Amino acid sequence: MKRRLDVLLAAWDAARREDEELVVTGIDRAPRTGVRFAGRLAPEAFRALLRRARAFVAAPAREDYGIAPLEALADGCVLVTTPSAGPYPALEIARALDPRLVTGDLATGIRVALDDPPPDFAARALDALAPFRRDAVDRVVADELLPRLLG
pLDDT (tens digit per residue) in 99-124: 999 999 999 999 999 999 999 999 99
If pLDDT is split at 50, 70 and 90, which confidence band does 31 have?
Answer: confident
Degrees, nearest 5: CA angle 63-67-69: 80
If pLDDT is split at 50, 70 and 90, which confidence band does 3 have?
Answer: confident
pLDDT (tens digit per residue) in 75-89: 999 999 999 999 999
Around 130, how many Cα atoms within 13 Å sit in the side-chain half-sphere?
Answer: 4
Domain borders along the chain are: 5-150
Q: Which CATH code for domain 5-150?
A: 3.40.50.2000
| pTM reported for the whole predicted model | 0.89
Q: What is the rounded CA–CA span in Å between residue 98 and residue 116?
A: 11
